[in-house]
Structure 1
Amino acid sequence: MGIATGTVVAGKVQLDGVALPEGCVVTVLTPDSTGEVFLDAEDEIALLEAVAEAERGETISPEELFARLAKRSKQ
């Protein structure tokens, strides 16, 4: 797995310097309202670990996610 940067052109994402096979499934992370996202090394590792967990099927249901988010917002 890797991380690639691209640009949206005519409604489609064009990756810079990366060729993926036709039909390849990708995940797109969109920036916040400032238009930029910066990860330090620790956050990048955590993100890559989370993506790997999801690829292995180690996920939670949407209901569990929303319950956890609601719990955090009350703290």
Structure 2
Amino acid sequence: MRFTTKGETLYAITLGMPRGQTAITSLAQPNPHERRRVRAVRLLGRPGAIAFRQTGQALVIDLPATLPTRHASAFAIDFA
């Protein structure tokens, strides 16, 4: 997983094709880097928000059955 930002949005990019769920442990709630709660997660290349939950262990993102690409998936993460 790689990260970048633009403005207030964090982008998380997977390397390869994730299946089922993906977990980002650095965004657990509360986490040492950001005390903000995740408000929305979008999968770039797919319209609308996707299901997620922010637990004490990780930000867990539920992936759709079909991904926009098989090479990498990019998630736009917005904070409250």
TM-score (norm 1): 0.26
Higher fraction of strand: 2
Quick check: which has more Rg, 1 or 2?
1
Higher fraction of helix: 1
